[in-house]
Structure 1
Amino acid sequence: MKRRITFFLLGLIGIFLLVTAIISLTVTSRQPSPIASKVQINEKEAVNRFSEAITYKTVSYHDYKQFDYEEFDRFILFLETSYPLVHQKLTLEKINEYGLIYKWTGKHSNKNPIGITGHYDVVPVLEGTESKWEEAPFSGAVVDEKIWGRGTLDDKIGVIGILEAAEYLLEQEFQPSRDVYFMFGFDEEVGGEKGALAIANTLKDRGIEFDFVIDEGGAIVENMVPGVTEPVGVVGISEKGYATVELKIEGSGGHSSQPKERTNIGRIATAISKLEETQFPADLQGPGEDLFEFVAPEMSFFMKYVFANKFLYEPLIEKVLLQQPATSALIRTTIAPTIFQAGEQENALPEIASAKINLRLMPGDTLEEVETFIVDTIDDEEITVSVDGSQATKVSSVDGWEFAAVQQAARNVYNDAIIAPYLMFAGSDAKHYDLVSRNTYRFLPVQISSEDLNRMHGTNEHISVENFVNAVKFYAELMKVVGE
């Protein structure tokens, strides 16, 4: 009898392994076959123009009075003189003087247009760090096949890359199959209210709806996706929400020589500790799940087996993803205490203590649900909780021709890269274009490292000449692929 039971159990295990293995083997690639790009630009001249673009100090500040608008004027004049065909063949409209809309009329204007967008404002160079730059931050220096300066990564490379591509295609007498809009913001780094948001509202008032808009965002990265050895080009299909939580407690202070067992500072600290220990629940769904559906077919057999049978191994997958901040943020709303305020004197207990926590919300999580979770978790009636911010953007499609066009263009330039959707953690102007677009994608067509990511708003921002040229090729390929 025991032998029969053993054989029966072994048979079940065998069937289980066979079925799950078949599921793994039947997973098919979601990558289009690359068609090597034939775009050939004059690299020297393009690099020289990009280098000059970096020299304009188009720095944005939360106080708009601090903008040096003469620099913005000079930059726009530079665009007009550097891209003559663009300014002859396309119509240019200015929104709030410095937001730019270029319209390229296509062969079939009855079709919904596409939008390609970027921003030409940059963040300030932190005072006191200028001497740490290997090349001056607004020099645009080209040294050892690298272009240096603010905006080389974020995001003059997008603006100049788009215009270089358009100028090249116009020289080839190319006309897009549908209308194409280039939309350039000038205040993205401070929220985009007068730039991208005003542009989107203007187009909305005219009844214009895009099939898709593509902005900066994800890039082609290496060694950042578990189980994948090839470079992965991640295309943001949604942005996490952004919220600020304030915890505050008021009560009697007193002399520090006679403290209560639970002080105001201690209670706020305990509340934060509880939140960090508990965390929001993790769930591999939405854009995070889409990411692994696209990359799983390209994994080694073991990893493919696990992800292909997600319905069995999801708890294991989530446990692995939670071990690293970058992958953990893919599957849950994150908690980041950033400001703590209390006390003015070392021998006096503060009467008020407060803390601010930055949250990045998963698609589907509401501000009301977040507040309820925090109140229940800290479980202290004397601490007031206030939540202010925005929820995640809508999730764009990965199953239509729109995402396929982005994939194909990227693969044509980066033949060995896996192009997959993902959830963008940071913010961009793309969220504003949700007002007028069925789909909004976020992708910077360059191959970068984790160190490059740290340099985007930091010291020694630069990009390789090869990456810049590939960005131009991507935008040209995208405009061509959309027509096909």
Structure 2
Amino acid sequence: MKFKKFLFILLALLVVFIGFTLTNTFLTASKQPPIVPSSVELDENAAIEKFSKALTYKTISYQEREKFDLQEFDKFISFLMDSYPTVHENLELETINDYALVYKWEGTNPNTKPIGLTSHYDVVPVLSGTEGNWEKDPFSGAVQDGLIWGRGTLDDKIGVIGILEAAEYLLKEGFTPSRDIYFMFGFDEEIGGELGAKAIADSLKQRGIQFDFVLDEGGAIVENMVPGVDQPVGVVGISEKGSATAELTIKGSGGHSSQPKDRTNIGRIASAIAALEETQFEGKLRGPGNDLFEFVAPEMSFGMKYVFSNKIIFKSIIEQILLKEPATAALIRTTIAPTIFHAGEQYNALPEEATAIINLRLMPGDSLEDVKEFIVKTIDDDGITVTVTGSESSSVSSTDGPQFKAIQQAARNVYNDAIIAPYLMFAGSDAKHYDIISDNTYRFLPVQITSEDLNRMHGTNEHISSENYINAIKFYVEIMKVTNQ
């Protein structure tokens, strides 16, 4: 009898569990706004022609600033003035450090906080020796078979030209914003943005200007990259990971390689790296990574929806699944990437010093001090000196307010079948500089891209489809309209 009673209680608990979790699943409502299809009609050929021309200017950022060909930057700015006359007749243009561009479109209601749309027009160099691998010259702006070729098609002249095309269109349509809109274009984002975006933000801060939100490049609309979702997913960065450099150094006696100690300097540094890779930072489904799945869970296939709608129960299982792939693991933990090793000069001489450099991308909430403490504890070698320098993550922006919802709405109006969700951006952008003058900073490039496109951004054969470029313009039109209704 006792065993039967136990089975009955167990069965009752199972029924309650299934009922509770199924109820959660069916009550998980979509977080996507209803679509209002974009009615924007552009002169597509003219827009493509101007974008093509913009790509021919070699506005290249080099780590050594003296290598900048500033004549190319001057020519690009002149090109903007010639190509967008209505913008330059109606908007106030200011230059900071000669080449950072700030446009102000004055609104009718000075009591409403402004919004900022930002991008950059500098591009990375073409890696020496790879020029012959390009199907089209990287600064040709070639247009063929529905594709536009060249540096800046993805990163990030498309943002600059897309925004100005949208403004030119709206001005000709007689549109007047209710709030001020700022366009802020950096010229050195690829090397940190110190004289571009940072200088713009510092200047506007001194004037007491505070934005409702700033939108920069970052996430995009991707396919087959979010587990359990068949539709394209537009990922909007609500924060970006911090970037830190850890240096591990050991010094000691060298000597002849014929009489080595049991533990050499190289061996001890290698053991330290192995310990870090074996241990790793703890992976937790939190912050922007958790927000991503809050937004996509209602759109998942039933099995995945069941699991993610009941994260409180299946959280540890979900974390283990996410940790299996580098892309999803990076969503939930601070990452460790050994990148440089220095030791030794002679094959038969033990080095007196060995150094390893590790790049870390920090989760929101993890400090530089936390990182150093973790490394010291994990390697457990008093002979190794550990230094950690860099930056912590940017602030995390809201997903509940009208700012994020406006980005969702604008994106869905153009990409009707896409699910728009927040995420954590792994790379750096100019957006972090605007944290000091904006209530929220978001990161989203309004184009649909593949994993191959991601490799082309700083690589060979960077290009974009004409359709994607036109859709980017439409998105910028929509975001300006949606935020000024």
TM-score scaled to structure 1, two decimals?
A: 1.00
1:67-216 aligned at under 5 Å gives the runs 67-216=68-217
CA distance in 2, matches of 1:473, 1:300: 30
Q: What do the CA deviations read for 1:122-171 (whole angstroms, capped 9, x no partner)?
A: 00000110000000000000011000000000000000000000000001
Counterpart-to-counterpart distance in 1, 2:352 and 2:450: 47
Residue 27 of structure 1 is matched in structure 2 by 28
Aligned equivalent of 1:387:
388
TM-align CA RMSD: 0.5
1:423-462 paired onto structure 2 within 5 Å: 423-462=424-463
Deviations 1:11-41 (A, max 9, x none): 1101110011001110100000111000111
Shift of 1:483: 1.2
Aligned to 1:222: 223
Q: CA deviation at 1:369?
A: 0.7
Deviation at residue 436 of structure 1 after TM alignment: 0.4
Q: Deviations over 1:459-483 (max 9, x none)?
A: 0000000000000000000000001
Residue deviations 1:218-256, cap 9 Å, x none?
Answer: 000001111111000000000000000000000000001
Please state how far the C-alpha of 1:58 moved relative to its aligned partner.
Answer: 0.0
Question: How many Å separate the matches in 2 of 1:107 and 1:34?
Answer: 27
**C-alpha separation between the residues in 1 aligned to 2:129 and 2:107?**
49
What amino acid is the match of 1:263? T
Query: Number of matched residues?
Result: 484
**What are the Cα deviations for residues 409-436 of structure 1, in whole angstroms up to 9, with x where unaligned?**
0000000100000000000000000010
- Quote the Cα distance in structure 2 between the aligned partners of 1:253 and 1:434: 49
Q: Report how far residue 3 of structure 1 moved.
A: 1.6
Is structure 2 residue 423 aligned with structure 1 residue 422?
yes
- Could you tell me which runs of 5 or more consecutive residues in structure 1 were left unpaired when the two chains were aligned: none
Alpha-carbon distance between aligned partners in 1 of 2:310 and 2:129, rounded to the nearest angstrom: 53
Once residues 455 and 158 of structure 1 are traced to their aligned partners in structure 2, the CA distance between those partners, rounded to angstroms, is 17
| Distance of 2:425 and 2:32 partners within structure 1 | 21
Determine helix, strand or coil for the equivalent of 1:329. Answer: helix
Q: Residues 241-283 of structure 1, C-alpha deviation per residue, up to 9 Å, x if partnerless?
A: 0000000000000001111110000000000000000000010
Tell me the secondary structure at the aligned position of residue 22 of structure 1.
helix
Q: Distance in 1 between matches of 2:38 and 2:51?
A: 21
1:360 correspondence with 2:361: yes
> d(CA) in 1 for partners of 2:439 and 2:307?
33
2: CA distance, partners of 1:362 / 1:337: 18
- Counterparts of 2:44 and 2:165 in 1: how far apart (Å)? 10
Question: Which amino acid in structure 1 is aligned with residue 389 of structure 2?
Answer: D
Distance in 2 between residues matched to 1:258 and 1:315, nearest whole Å:
49
What's the CA shift for 1:109? Answer: 1.9
The separation in 1 between residues aligned to 2:253 and 2:5, in whole angstroms, is 74
Shift of 1:112: 0.5
Shift of 1:386: 0.2
Once residues 182 and 234 of structure 1 are traced to their aligned partners in structure 2, the CA distance between those partners, rounded to angstroms, is 22
Give, in angstroms, the shift of residue 5 of structure 1.
Answer: 1.6
User: Residue 4 of structure 1: CA displacement?
Assistant: 2.0
Residue in 2 that maps onto 1:344: 345
Runs of 4+ in 1 over 2 A off after TM superposition: none
Which residue of the partner structure matches residue 55 of structure 2?
54
Find the residue that maps to 1:330 and give its secondary structure: helix
Match of 1:285 in 2: 286
Aligned equivalents of 2:287 and 2:178: distance in 1? 32
Give the CA deviation at 1:322: 0.5
Aligned to 1:317: 318
- Give the aligned partner of residue 330 of structure 2: 329
Helix, strand or coil at the partner of 2:51: helix
CA apart distance, 1:301:
1.4
TM-score (norm 2): 0.99
Bigger drift between 3-12 and 233-242 goes to 3-12
Q: CA deviation at 1:336?
A: 0.1
Percent of residue pairs identical: 69
**Post-superposition offset of 1:443:** 0.1
Q: Secondary structure in 1 aligned to 2:337? A: strand
Q: CA separation in 1, counterparts of 2:140 and 2:108?
A: 41
Deviation sequence 1:33-61 (CA, Å, 0-9, x none): 11100011100000000000000000011
Equivalent-residue separation in structure 2 for 1:85 and 1:96 (angstroms): 25
AA at the equivalent of 1:13: L
- In 1: Cα distance, 2:79 partner to 2:111 partner: 33
SS of 2:104 mapped into structure 1: strand
Q: Quote the Cα distance in structure 2 between the aligned partners of 1:226 and 1:88.
A: 48
